[in-house]
Every structure is written in C-alpha cells, then in structure tokens.
Amino acid sequence: MRVETAHLAWNEAPAGAMLYDAARISRPVAALFDAGHYGDRAQPVAAGGRQAAWFVEGEFGEGVLRHYRRGGMVARISDRDYFWLGADSTRGFREFRLLESLAAQGLPVPAPLAAAYWRQGLTYKAAIIVERLPAVQPLALLLDQPVWEAAADAVARMHHAGVWHADLNAYNILIDAAGKAWIIDFDRGHQGGVTARARAGNLRRLRRSLEKVGGAAGLALHEKLEAAYRRCMASRPD
C-alpha cells in the first residue's frame, strides 16, 4: 500500500483532504465519495448501512463507500456533522489508519482504499471507501451454520492484537465462501491495548446483537462462539 494525501473541495466546504492508496487510485478526486459518480455501479447496502453506504465499483475494483452518520438522540440535531479536532482526529482518517495497520498485520479486515473529510467552520463531514470482501454473508444470516469457530478466531486475533471494536455486532462479522471470518466497520475502534473488561464488553455487545436478530438461535450460537473464543485466547501467549 502506498498512502498519499490530496486536498479536496466539495460543494460549500472547500477545506477538505483525503488519504488514499495511490497503488489503486490514480485520480484522488472528491467525486469518489459521491455514490452518484458511480451510476449503476453503486448499490445501497441493505443491512447496517444507515442509508449511507453503497457497494461501488471503480478503478480500484469493488469497494464499499460509507458516509459517517451519527446514531441515537444526537442525530436529531445533526446526523452527519462532527466537531473539528484536527485532520488526524477525523472519523475517516482514524479508521483508514487503523485498517491500514491491521491489514499490514495480516488480520482479517478489509483493506482501506480512501478516506476524506470536508471541513466547514467548527464541524466536518467524512466518508471512507474500503475494499469489498467477495462472497461474504453476515453472521446474522448464518445462525444455523457451524461458523462459531471461525468467528471466535477472528475476534480473538483482533483482541490479541490489542484492538477494541466499538460496535461488534452480528452484521460486522462476515463469513466468506471458504468459511473464513472477517471483521468490518472499525469506526471509533482503536489499537494499543484492550483490557479484559473491554474484551468482555465486545462479547456482550455481540450477544445482544445475536439475540436481537435470532432469539434463542442467536443465543445458542453465541454460547458456542464464546466458548471457542476462550479456547482461542487461552492458546495464544500474551
């Protein structure tokens, strides 16, 4: 990966920039973050995208474009604006850098392709494009399949690398055609150490998500997944 920076202008927010993989993107332009730019090569992500994510196809191959949007009560005030704390603190740049690091370590995450922000006064908007993983399905749709070992291994590898995931749910763990598990959506995640309490919190969040989508079947899968996770963690030296 050859990461470079380019300055951007977008509508009424001229102070913007993007990080991008120069080995896969030759023209770092703002249009890359506009779903309309791709025409019929852009398809909305049906699950978990908050109506702000699209499957896209460009010179970089197949990717997932996602605009950062807030959830919860604060979204009623502004669902896309974040307070400006510097370029390196923007949601897109932070997730890009984290994914770049994790992919370089061989962890099962999508490669980052580009991330951008557009600043306007004290706030900014942001977006990211990551590589689309081929032939994958979310854990939420595989509750009756023997996928817990693969999912547990992916989560254990993430935790052993000192990474905390901000929203480990049943749609952010994907299983490919070969049975390998991948973890996506590292917005607000961080690397640098993860406590036992934080690891347990990730597993509790996943349990709630699986119960929500699958009821008893979801809880049964989580029970097997957590047991496999503990075996994986015990087998890895600190």
What tokens were used for 114? 């580009």
What tokens were used for 71? 């959830």
- Residues 6 or more apart whose CB falls under 8 angstroms from that of 201 comprise none
Q: Which amino acid is at 203?
A: L
With CA atoms as reference, report the closest residue to 166 among 206, 113, 224.
206
Report the catalytic residues.
167
Q: Is 135 left (phi over 0), alpha (psi -120 to 50) or beta?
A: left
With CA atoms as reference, report the closest residue to 198 among 228, 237, 162.
162
CA distance 92 to 103: 16
Instruction: Count CB atoms within 10 A of the CB of residue 219.
Output: 13
Residue 232 backbone phi and psi in degrees, to 5: -65, -45
Beta bridge partners of 129: 65, 114
CA distance 82 to 80: 7
Beta pairing, strands 13-21 & 112-120: antiparallel
